[in-house]
Amino acid sequence: MPPIHYEACPVCSGTQIRPVFLVKDYTVSGEVFPVEECSSCALRFTQDVPDQASIGPYYKSEDYISHSNTHKGLVSRMYQMVRSRTMRQKAALVERYAQKRNGRLLDLGCGTGTFLHTMKNRGWEVAGLEPDAGARDMAQQLYNLDIAPSHELYQLEEAQFDAITLWHVLEHVHELHAYMAQLKRILKPDGVLLIAVPNYTSRDADIYEQYWAAYDVPRHLYHFSPKAMGVLTERHGLHIKKMLPMWFDSFYVSLLSSKYKYGKTQYVGAGLHGLSSNVNATRNTKECSSVIYVIRKEG
């Protein structure tokens, strides 16, 4: 199949699109992809991406931590060190905004199942969906979790989940509007949807530009701004109630970005850039490196 070339914005269907820059796939292929921006909703998106049936090989890398659980390399080891803490923080967020200590949780793009394992141990009834068969197998081996393929999202019953989480997943989804409609359908009327995505309006994104690791082309199809997320949710009768910062992401992304830009990781400089980005975002969460959107049905 030919690559996907957008003539209109994938979020708002606007046709006023401008090129931003070319971004290299540093993880797998070494290919270069155009990133463009919609002037109406401020979404950035990757042009000429493989279709859903063809993109699988671009995920085949030991460096793709959510699928491989790798400890290879210092940056990956640092990621693993802080993961247990971030799992607890995410669990606390779910319970706070779901206003429940237990209930039914769906985690989409659950990778190797670490977050589901955390929530199950806290008394939640959990379900997970993951497109990568290797990650699903690892979830079974590590945590005895039966994870279903992502396409089973469309077979789930209506209004059954108290909380649905997507931790850095929505930017990967080809069928964006169908996905959002289904999330709304399976969420209980009083349920909460937590979507975390990178934010290209952050200071670390400005610093590293086309080397910013969170562009992660072609796996990241979309590059959201808070404005674009607002437009997307409103189109589906959903409402953003709160935006929350993900403080660690600026450091992790800056470390990777410095490697892409300079050929090796600049630990001190990247750390300072990550810190600078977070200090800037303390005044405005909309400028954090990654943002968690707390979303509910309208009404």
Sign of the CA dihedral 256, 259, 262, 268?
positive
Res 204: pLDDT: 98
For each of the domains in the chain, give its residue range(s) and CATH number, in order of start. Answer: 17-297 (3.40.50.150)
Q: How far apart are CA 247 and CA 231, in angstroms?
A: 24
Per the CB < 8 A criterion, the answer to whether 57 and 26 are in contact is no
Burial class from Cβ neighbours inside 10 Å (0-12, 13-18, 19+) for residue 227 reads middle
Mean pLDDT per 10-residue section of the chain, whose length is 299 residues: 95 98 97 98 98 93 56 54 83 97 97 96 98 94 97 97 98 97 98 98 98 98 98 98 96 96 96 96 97 90
pTM of the model: 0.93
And the tokens for 70?
Answer: 């790798």
Res 83: pLDDT: 73
Res 68: pLDDT: 46
Q: How far apart are CA 30 and CA 23, in angstroms?
A: 10
Q: How far apart are CA 142 and CA 298, in angstroms?
A: 38
Res 298: pLDDT: 75
Query: Cα torsion for 285, 287, 292, 298, to the nearest 10°?
Result: 80
Res 71: pLDDT: 47
For tokens 């400890």, name the residue: 71
Bridge-based pairing of strands 32-38 and 17-24 is antiparallel
DSSP states along 104-149: EEEEET-TTSHHHHHHHHTT-EEEEE-S-HHHHHHHHHHH---PBP
Per the CB < 8 A criterion, the answer to whether 257 and 23 are in contact is no
Distance set, CA 59 to CA 29, 64, 68, 135, 284 (Å): 10, 7, 10, 11, 33
Length of the chain: 299
